[in-house]
Amino acid sequence: MPRVKRGKVRTKKRRAVLEKTKGYKWGGKNLIRRAKQATKKAGAHALRDRRIKKRVMRRLWQTQLNAAVRAYDLSYSKFIGLLKKNKIELDRKVLAEIAQKNPEIFKKIIEQIKK
């Protein structure tokens, strides 16, 4: 079997891995084996954290809505219940944004559901 020289291919692969790990700490940025492990781990964490981000943001919107609704003598759960009862289908993200940026519109929404 003929000998295969892999100089260029291997160097290119190593360079690609090291480019991905640029800015990492310690050996993770310049030792090939550690750099490979670091990229694999970083990818796994990125995937996991994209899922977690959705949970965290939803909790944040709920907290913001609860704070905004308390000024109108409602709790968050009662507010959401009234929204569902009145068939207002705005999601928590939009409601939290309206509560922060347009309080007068938010007040109108609350008046609408209290009727």
pLDDT digits (tens, 9 = 90+) for 26-40: 998 999 999 999 999
Would you kindly state where each structural domain of the chain is located, as residue ranges?
Answer: 10-114
Which architecture characterizes domain 10-114 according to CATH?
Answer: Orthogonal Bundle (1.10)
Q: Cα–Cα distance between 93 and 99 in angstroms, integer?
A: 10
Q: Cα–Cα distance between 103 and 52 in angstroms, integer?
A: 29
With b meaning 16 or more CB within 10 Å and e meaning fewer, what string describes 90-104?
Answer: eebeebbebbeeeee
Q: Cα–Cα distance between 113 and 109 in angstroms, integer?
A: 6
Mean pLDDT within 64-76:
95
Place of tokens 């990492």: 24
pTM for this prediction: 0.75
Q: Cα–Cα distance between 85 and 53 in angstroms, integer?
A: 29
Structure tokens belonging to residue 52: 């977690």
Cβ atoms of 39 and 21 within 8 Å: the answer is yes
Mean pLDDT within 80-100:
94
